[in-house]
Structure 1
Amino acid sequence: MCVTSRFDSSVYAQRLAAAAAATENAGLAGLVITPGYDLRYLIGSRAQTFERLTALVLPASGRPTMVVPRLELAALRESAVADLGVAVRDWVDGDDPYRLVGDALGGLPATVAVTDSMTALHLLPLAGVLQTTPVLATEVLRELRMIKDPSEIDALRNAGAAIDRVHARVPEFLVPGRTEADVAADIASAIVAEGHSEVAFIIVGSGPHGADPHHECSNRVLAPGDIVVIDIGGPVEPGYNSDCTRTYSIGEPAAQVAQRYSVLQRAQRAALDCIRPGVTAQQVDAAARDVLAEAGLADYFVHRTGHGIGLSVHEEPYIVAGNDVALAAGMAFSVEPGIYFPGEWGARIEDIVIVTDDGAESVNNRPHELIVVPV
């Protein structure tokens, strides 16, 4: 059974008002938001993208309008539209929905911003009606979506606790003779059983597969001595995601593995300790990377230190070199340095953290040590 939910309508009313203000400050006539994470963020709608246009038109001033095919009206019932004073302009085949968008903006030509998930199928005819090429709404909505409100923070805490409960069960699945796919199937069941609405991703990287950061699972058979990277996550209603990685050793690890893992643990701790308002995203990345570099392991850390999370598993801010965005209270992102030795093994430690007024709160609280599974 699929159960979905959303926040109280007052949350979406505040978001719409903030988005309209940001649109006006950007000198735009309005936003045009088709189905995707931006639409869910603004009105709680999980409508899908089809060949028929569905779009929220949010002018810089004035009443928002939902342009929707008549046969898709039922999809709005789960959203907050009815409580928000949003006008609904439904249309049928043969009508021009792009003209309805232009009308809702109050005049043409109009400079608008569109969500980055809008398909070319809709973008091109919309640009023709508007008589100008839209810009991306990313810059307008970016600050709003990066700074999580209290309801979002509570949702992320719930997601973090749920995935922690799954990791607590992982050692019972890591039995020599079983395949990575066997373990992944057990984890998938546990993810749903522990409160997620669905599985977003599962990585079970054993032995040399652990050296591939984006390995999923395979028919490789687990054996004593394997190091196993388990990276798992999924959404918890109302759609906010978990994402947590822990590394396991089937039996006692070799001395070199244990030594290198201890360096990784220090690197992740250094990044966590660096987080506070005003610090830049690239400084957090450097905090982890510097520890690994001092130990001669820099070349084995092949990805960014983290990514933002919320309705989407990967969103801004990205914790990476070159990103000078200053952290602010309410931002949520992963801290996940890893080390990868091709053909041998890999390891990663990942927590989701929320920036507080004076530091960071982790929503994941399972041990960071290399977890030894007895054989």
Structure 2
Amino acid sequence: MGSSATSGPSSRFPSSVYAARLSRAAELARSAGLDALLITPGPDLQYLVGSRAQSFERLTCLVVPADGSTPAVVVPTLELAGLGESAIGELGLDVRDWVDGVDPYELVARGLSAPARSAVADAMPALHLVPVTARLGTMPVLATGVLRELRMVKDAAEIEALRRAGAAIDRVHARMGEFLQVGRTEAQVGAAVTEAIVAEGHTGAEFVIVGSGPHGADPHHEVSERVIGRGDVVVVDIGGPVEPGYNSDSTRTYVMGEPDPEIARQYAVLEEAQEQAVRAVRPGVSAESVDEAARSVLAAAGLGDAFVHRTGHGIGLSVHEEPYIVAGNGIELVEGMAFSVEPGIYFPGQWGARIEDIVVVTADGCEPMNTRPHGLTVLGG
């Protein structure tokens, strides 16, 4: 599959999808006792109207009134063309463009009674938050609490995008024997993998981790000039967006030649932990119970201390978003939630391993977005 287009119809969903999201956002804002949501460029703006506008010193802001009246978009006149790829025109939003010398914060406040109870995107810069606060007469709260209910539960169009993302990153892992070879540096492997991520259907590589030998014990290692040697265990964690901006994220662990028997034994426990966590996913259970399903398997085998991070994170327009699959998160899973299941074991100075799939909660369990084998894959050593 060749690289996908970055513009045109495939760069966003039909306008009806965004209309429904805006309506639901207004409803949730009203239920939260707010007068409006103020959304500046970032994942929330892309989610609500399909815009990939960037944040500059000149304000761009979507105003979603909680009373259900027509949302407005405050945008610099010189940035109007950049909204063309979004659904704003088809949605019939009130576009309030402005030129230098005009106060854009007054345009945001237009139609809102002061003091206005508002919620802002967590990506709003302080450069804009301070004057917005002055115009509205009260400090806004974060919109995260309102929008997370929307963004956590994926609709059918989003789930299909995640399926395509998962299949695309699976194709890259299927080619790992081409890239991961003894004598190459992690950086060389990473460069080849980056090219493959785009070639297999992503618009870019969001991250590439190639952790060989002792570097595999660092969960957030990226790449280095370390030369991959015989017997090395190598953690490969890769992902990126497919149109319209939904991310893949999958980790598999490889070994350069037949593994040491003790490594194989410990890896088999990790494989069981990941499998049990996936089996635990279904509507009505808590996020923390999925974490516990993985953690308990490792703890019973004496590997609990080697698992040093949460079991998973939500995914969509952002690689990391809610819900987080971690101890202490009692949120109840519902159909449509999407997140990673990625337990790992790490032995500093020696080696590490991780297995990661993205799953989507279904009516009676979950659907994995990744289907590559989970075992410790032996490559030519």
User: Which of 113, 124, 131 is matched with 1:125 structurally?
Assistant: 131
Alignment of 1:35 with 2:41, yes or no, is: yes
User: Which of 254, 260, 271 is matched with 2:260 structurally?
Assistant: 254
The residue aligned with 1:78 is: 85
List per-residue Cα deviations over 1:64-108 (Å, max 9, x = no partner): 00000000001110000011121000011111111111104x321
Alignment of structure 1 residues 152-163 onto 2, 5 Å: 152-163=158-169
List per-residue Cα deviations over 1:255-279 (Å, max 9, x = no partner): 0100000000000011000000000
Distance 2:369 2:182 in 1: 31
User: Which of 85, 88, 95 is matched with 2:102 structurally?
Assistant: 95
Q: Which stretch of the first structure deviates more once superposed, 306-315 or 173-182?
A: 173-182
List per-residue Cα deviations over 1:179-237 (Å, max 9, x = no partner): 00110011001000000001100000000000000000000001110000000000000
**Equivalent residue of 1:191, what SS?**
helix
Q: CA deviation at 1:174?
A: 1.6
Distance 1:210 1:56 in 2: 43
The residue aligned with 1:46 is: 52
Alignment of structure 1 residues 171-320 onto 2, 5 Å: 171-320=177-326
Distance 1:176 1:78 in 2: 45
Contact 2:152 2:337 in 1 (8 A): yes
Alignment of 1:112 with 2:115, yes or no, is: no
Distance 2:74 2:58 in 1: 10
Identity of aligned residues (%): 66
Contact 2:161 2:244 in 1 (8 A): yes
**Equivalent residue of 1:222, what SS?**
coil
Q: CA deviation at 1:253?
A: 0.3
Q: CA deviation at 1:63?
A: 1.0
The residue aligned with 2:14 is: 8
**Equivalent residue of 2:234, what SS?**
strand
- Which stretches in structure 1 are left out of the alignment for 5+ residues? none
Q: CA deviation at 1:239?
A: 0.4
Distance 1:86 1:18 in 2: 16
Distance 2:331 2:343 in 1: 19
The residue aligned with 2:73 is: 66
User: Which of 1, 18, 29 is matched with 1:23 structurally?
Assistant: 29
List per-residue Cα deviations over 1:22-59 (Å, max 9, x = no partner): 01111100100000000000000000000000000000
Distance 1:82 1:325 in 2: 37
**Equivalent residue of 2:62, what SS?**
strand
Contact 2:216 2:346 in 1 (8 A): yes
Q: CA deviation at 1:136?
A: 0.5
User: Which of 362, 369, 380 is matched with 1:374 structurally?
Assistant: 380
Contact 2:36 2:65 in 1 (8 A): yes
Contact 2:72 2:95 in 1 (8 A): yes
Distance 1:23 1:364 in 2: 35
Alignment of 1:170 with 2:150, yes or no, is: no
Q: CA deviation at 1:173?
A: 1.3
Q: CA deviation at 1:299?
A: 0.5
Q: CA deviation at 1:374?
A: 2.2
Amino acid at match of 1:190: A
Amino acid at match of 1:336: E
Q: Which stretch of the first structure deviates more once superposed, 166-175 or 336-345?
A: 166-175
- Which stretches in structure 2 are left out of the alignment for 5+ residues? none
**Equivalent residue of 2:110, what SS?**
helix
Q: CA deviation at 1:109?
A: 1.2
Amino acid at match of 2:72: T
Alignment of 1:145 with 2:148, yes or no, is: no
